[in-house]
Structure 1
């Protein structure tokens, strides 16, 4: 009895001593300085990233901005996925979406910086500036009573001043020749359309041409309007130019394709790890199923442009002319995040009707992925189709049994190399320094009244052909510091002449003036016209 009583007294004391020792050891050997508990020891986390961020936020020696760290970390994570999965910060989302939405809040002018002054090149029809009386040739020298002329202000900064929330007002001070006093205009910012169909016109009696710059929300309706204009002028075959078109909305490309394909023809299918195969077929309601079609592509045609070209090619519906396209066959889904930012995540690959995935490899990282264009150039691909090698394991057949290849871009049916026959160092210096563009602006400004009487590119060119344009331009170029080189000028003369006239015509008639003149030295376009004409015969 006595021993049991001693044990009963001693055991609680021993237990208490052990507890006290445990607390002492825990505080002195497993705690952070200052007596705080180690977060990793006491907080079970959902994942390592949360654990790491919590640890830094609570235990790091200095105060940190957690949000700023996350803004830097997220893009780094996405780099290990593919080149087209991207994070869009909240502050940039509206700007990024503008091109796809097709409008923004602005005053409705196209301008150029000339002699450190904003000169209005075009006034958008129906826009806020046209409504108050802004004219091409006007110089905007002040915005909201702040002088911007002669201040070395960047183009982006000018745009920031002129753009803004729709419905807000901006005051601009305009200098209009021959007046010497400023004219003040109060402009209410409005929705400004961003057109994605650059131009449409009849090349000859039966061949039409449409240039599509991007695939945005308004592209389909613009395209139908362009087609209707051409058909009203007896268009029987159409050239659709996707050169330089980097893509956009997948559904818009599908709707454009649908205009040319008969019912049940496969347009495209998409498939991913978490995305079951989805086939998209033509519905037979297209308005151009009997219209012959030629598609132009180049090394900068990507994504939706490649869907269209691949569908036309694989269904043997028309000809694809130009050079091998970029090779972007990944489908992105834009996912909004709680703070107003967004994630564009690759969720599937798209395949042409024959089964080709035109996505080029990206396993070696983003830098090498985008350097592929330069590698193609150095390898000679832009100048010689024979320099392109194809993998027999990626061989496919079109609807009529022709062989096509996957593995990176759409290879055209007819290859047209880059034309460098008129390119010299003298010409490159003129272009790199913007000399031709600057001369065209000055010439237009000095001769606007004469030029504005003409309503077609053809009429403007006929007028300019009678002027002593080149001699005047050479003096201008020399004054701007570009030394004259007779031998090189003789080689580049025709190219310089056409580009000058095209730029001047654009200053008067926008793209309706530019392209019909510039196409005279465009080999890909000329070959397309030849092939389209043969289709019609």
Structure 2
């Protein structure tokens, strides 16, 4: 595996892929009408047919159509996108919140399907598959030594609910090979990563996206935290690129008093729809904090904007992405679809927080670079606001439109100017793969240890830090890790804990030194209504 090739897309995706995330749209049914005028449609059809029948070389006309559709959408806005047929299943699956399969987190390690961890409660865990196992065969299909792409692997491991697959598994820790007959089942894809107490009475909920199941997950998490004694609440929307607007609205409804405006939308005909909170929210009172950063977009900004404009809580972190466009999905009849911008949304005070895209998509998605160069990630004074776009909250506070939600309490990015790449890599898949490979060599040494001892084992020595430094350099990623030793060790220890135990222990460990969470816990705790 070439980790340098793996990492570069991860690095770029932080700023380039927000607009192509798996949601950020109102899911209205498509209207039954053509996309373009009949004469132009005929012109395109004639051209495609002419190429197909007469062009001297064989041409995949489907790819030409895809290029045509993409070219049209690129002329509109950065968030009107085409989703090809081969991408639709993954997109739909993520937004639905589950899939049918065997339920494992895996990656190709030395040409073998290595199980990083079975998904809790999934078919593989129930069948006895463990972290570190290699899946050699799925039925008669050989999975090792073939450098199979992920889509091919997925197709062999997924299937219909209730269908069976015979797996041949090698367990390295016991040096044995065995067979398992496994029944595929529905496997949830969580949108709430963690819900824990980070103080005696402060609940914390991390939401990674807004999918079909997000409100139900959030509601259950909040009910549980209240039972544990939570009197104040932190909602973490950092790096949450959006999803279904309805889910953000339902969560806001649980937090806002009756009849408060949550969001406004306006379409091409300037029709305004206003969505308001209803009675009976389960956390309408009590201190509330919403964490955002430069990658919090769309539905995340709807929720943050609703809380800020209604003076219901404190927005903590850095300026959000700035996406205020609403998309509708229209199937194109061949398994592909278009997500077309059909409206703009506005926060309760009337703010549009959509950034300008007048200079084109490339510059639009490279906004992170501008924030980096201006120093905005490290200083609130570097945030540029438009004095002409002033709005007032319910209590009369001044807030600004024109490019993202500006936090009430600014918290700079960890580290110093120039450390951004380290921050990205410590939260990327590279750390996960490195830790897996370390555990693959010494898993028995960690067996049965609680999170505190796992963390101590990793932090008490430079062994894993040095090995990680070597691992990065071996794969062409050169950083000066020495000045960040404590930080690197913290992330490594947390990943060891996640793979050996669970996500809850992972977040419990990381959040102890999380600057935004620390800022919340150190701030006065007023009863915000």
Q: Normalising by structure 1, what TM-score?
A: 0.82
- Which residue of structure 2 aligns with residue 506 of structure 1? 498
Cα separation, partners in 2 of 1:370 and 1:61, compared to 1, 3 Å: same
Structure 1 stretch displaced more, 429-438 or 66-75? 429-438
Task: Identify unmatched segments of 5+ residues in structure 1.
Answer: 1-44
Report the Cα distance in structure 2 between the residues aligned to 1:337 and 1:482, rounded to whole angstroms. 46
Which residue of 479, 487, 493 corresponds with 2:485?
493
Deviation string 1:389-411 (CA, Å, 9 cap, x unpaired) is 21122110100010000001100
Structure 1 stretch displaced more, 132-141 or 406-415? 132-141
Report the Cα distance in structure 1 between the residues aligned to 2:430 and 2:367, rounded to whole angstroms. 31
Cα separation, partners in 2 of 1:449 and 1:492, compared to 1, 3 Å: same
- Which residue of structure 2 aligns with residue 22 of structure 1? none
Q: 1:421 offset after TM fit, Å?
A: 4.7
Contact 1:245 1:305 in 2 (8 A): yes
- Report SS of the residue matched to 2:366: helix
- Which residue of structure 2 aligns with residue 75 of structure 1? 70
Report the Cα distance in structure 1 between the residues aligned to 2:304 and 2:493, rounded to whole angstroms. 32
Is 1:53 aligned to 2:45, yes or no? yes
Contact 2:136 2:169 in 1 (8 A): yes
Equivalence map 1:53-452=2 (5 Å): 53-54=45-46, 57-58=49-50, 61-62=54-55, 67-274=62-269, 276-421=271-416, 437-445=432-440, 448=443, 451=446
Alignment size in residue pairs: 485
- Which residue of structure 1 aligns with residue 24 of structure 2? none
Structure 1 stretch displaced more, 355-364 or 83-92? 83-92
Q: 1:425 offset after TM fit, Å?
A: 11
- Which residue of structure 2 aligns with residue 25 of structure 1? none
Q: 1:203 offset after TM fit, Å?
A: 0.8
Deviation string 1:123-180 (CA, Å, 9 cap, x unpaired) is 2233221232212232223333444334444445433432234343333221114433
Cα separation, partners in 2 of 1:521 and 1:153, compared to 1, 3 Å: farther
- Report SS of the residue matched to 2:359: coil
Cα separation, partners in 2 of 1:533 and 1:109, compared to 1, 3 Å: farther
Deviation string 1:37-91 (CA, Å, 9 cap, x unpaired) is xxxxxxxx93234235325635984377655433321111111111111122333
Is 1:529 aligned to 2:521, yes or no? yes
- Which residue of structure 2 aligns with residue 5 of structure 1? none
Cα separation, partners in 2 of 1:282 and 1:50, compared to 1, 3 Å: same
Report the Cα distance in structure 1 between the residues aligned to 2:263 and 2:271, rounded to whole angstroms. 14
Q: 1:440 offset after TM fit, Å?
A: 2.7
Task: Identify unmatched segments of 5+ residues in structure 2.
Answer: 1-36
Report the Cα distance in structure 2 between the residues aligned to 1:450 and 1:55, rounded to whole angstroms. 66
- Which residue of structure 1 aligns with residue 456 of structure 2? 465
Which protein is bigger by CA-based radius of gyration?
1
Cα separation, partners in 2 of 1:466 and 1:365, compared to 1, 3 Å: closer
Contact 2:459 2:493 in 1 (8 A): no
Report the Cα distance in structure 2 between the residues aligned to 1:478 and 1:413, rounded to whole angstroms. 37
Q: Normalising by structure 2, what TM-score?
A: 0.83
Q: 1:428 offset after TM fit, Å?
A: 8.2
Report the Cα distance in structure 1 between the residues aligned to 2:454 and 2:62, rounded to whole angstroms. 61
Contact 2:375 2:417 in 1 (8 A): no
